[in-house]
Amino acid sequence: MANTSIKDMTSGSPARLIFGFFVPMVFGLLFQQLYNMVDTIIVGNYLGVRALASVGSTGSVNFMIIGFCMGVCNGFAIPVAQKFGEKNFTQLRRFAANGAWLAMIFAGVMTTVVCLLCRRILMWMNTPADIIDGAYAYIFVIFLGIPATYLYNMVSGIIRSLGDSRTPLYFLVMSSLLNVALDLFTIVVLGMGVAGAAWATVISQAVSGIACLIFMAKRYEVLRMTKEEAAPNGNIMKILCGIGIPMGLQYSITAIGSMVLQVAVNGLGSMSVAAMTAATKISMFFCCPFDALGSTMATYGGQNIGARRLERLGEGMKAAVFMGTAYALLALVILSRFGDSIALLFLDADQTEILGQVKQYLLTNAVFYIPLVLVNVVRFMIQGMGYSKRAVLAGVCEMAARAGVGFLLVPYFGYTAVCFASPFAWIAADLFLVPSYLLIIRRLWKEQGIEALTKERRNAGEIIINRWKGFRYGH
């Protein structure tokens, strides 16, 4: 463990450790969103509003599939964090290796299936006829890049599980800069249209993943494994699937609600789709700190549950919620004053109706950012502790809320209902997550108390037996 970027989060100030891990994560996610926003900005300015709507109409299905990939990889990394907390490095390497085997299998199967079904999904979503060809050209290429998505997220997830959030940042910065250059080259120089933006994203992520893998193999001594440790192991794969698949499903189930909502927005016309596309991109950028807090708490929770440091879980939770709340208030102020100006990055000033819809979406969501803090902090803490199935149920709550808005409210209240879909989903998830976390903590403390009492009684019994043996044999 010679690498100084590896951090043990089981000792020291929870607030300081969380903040130190969180800051590089924020910058990493901001750069990730940056090249997503660059796609949108370049498409909107060089190819027009309909091309922008084409890319935006794929957002929910993109999140459903790519989100599953990301969730699975994050789940595969949780046992690595737990074994790091236990200081059981042999098992740590076995979990890392088997996670990689599973990632390759998942990538091959998913790429084949979703590419075959791609156009059918877009048709089922009622994608407007004037943008469906552009939507297909974009999302098909993105789905071809699923192996690159698995590669980067698997490698970066393992690195973060060791407490190192800086290294993935460096490679994301490289990927972001490469993506900007490739966007301009494929769209402006080669004239590849929206497909060029997709190829830029896939290529830049593949380069980042390969570079990160090479760096990890050379730098982290704790991950240098024997052939026996690297061999496929059915029992370990079963454990990994038990954690990774529910986490992937959590993303996908949440995305199903977004897809239902997207269908409803598609019914409002391509202008509403364009407004939601621009608003969603801006919102995702501002939500990066919430996502970073979540990933931080997954690692923090995993390491501390592995070390059985239960008292640190509550301390870390309080610190994370405080940080998230402070940022939520800051984001609300910024979006209320500059939201319409930020929207001009994607749209022309004369598109006043769309600009007004973008600002309405941003402000409505920003008012409810504090419930979003709880969604990310509590959900990922629960996942890090090994209770990923609870997170799936929270995803079901989000899905039901978004789908309900899409089915029941959008036909009557139009775009205004669309703006309230995510806040309703966050509140629904919190109503499940917070009580679940409190019940889990109570159970763990009870179990640890029973273990301590049993150990105390066992030690007392050994003392009595040893004294009896001493008395019996005259010692």
Question: For 261-306, how does the pLDDT look when each residue is reduced to its tens digit (9 = 90+)?
Answer: 777 777 777 777 777 777 887 888 888 899 889 888 888 888 888 7
pLDDT of 168: 81
pLDDT at 337 over 60: yes
- For the record, the structure tokens of 143 come out as 């789905």
Question: What pLDDT does residue 167 have?
Answer: 83
Q: How confident is the model at residue 350 (pLDDT cuts 50, 70, 90)?
A: low
Report d(CA 318, CA 339) in Å as an integer: 30
Report the pLDDT value the prediction gives residue 172, as an integer from 0 to 100.
81
pLDDT at 451: 53
* Burial classification of residue 129, based on how many CB atoms lie within 10 Å of its CB (0-12 exposed, 13-18 middle, 19 or more buried): exposed
Residue 463 confidence (pLDDT) = 46
Residue 184 has, within 13 A of its CA and on its CB side, a CA count of 5
- pLDDT for 105 equals 93
What is the DSSP-derived secondary structure letter of residue 387?
-
Residue 11: per-residue pLDDT: 81
List phi, psi (to 5°) of 309: -100, 70
Task: Give the pLDDT score at 449.
Answer: 65
Most confident listed range (96-105, 190-199, 404-413): 96-105
> pTM for the whole thing?
0.72
| Residue 470 in this model has a pLDDT that exceeds 60 | no
pLDDT at 59: 73
Q: What pLDDT shows up at residue 466?
A: 53
- Per-residue confidence (pLDDT) for residue 331, from 0 to 100: 93
Query: pLDDT tens for residues 189-237?
Result: 888 888 888 898 899 889 988 988 888 888 888 888 888 888 888 899 9
Q: Which residue has the tokens 């066992």?
A: 458
Q: Quote the CA–CA distance of 182 and 179 in Å, as a whole number.
A: 5
Main-chain dihedrals φ then ψ at residue 10, nearest 5 degrees = -95, 0
Indicate if the pLDDT at residue 465 is higher than 50: no
**71 neighbors 247 (Cβ within 8 angstroms):** yes
Q: Is the pLDDT of residue 372 over 90?
A: yes
pLDDT tens digits for 68-87? 888 888 888 888 888 888 78
Give the domain ranges of the chain. Answer: 14-472
For residue 141, pLDDT over 50 is answered with yes
Q: End-to-end distance of the chain based on CA atoms, in angstroms?
A: 46
List, in order, residues 6 or more apart from 227 with CB less than 8 Å away.
none
Q: What percent of the chain has pLDDT over 70?
A: 89
Average pLDDT value over all residues in the chain: 82
Give the position of tokens 């629904």: 428
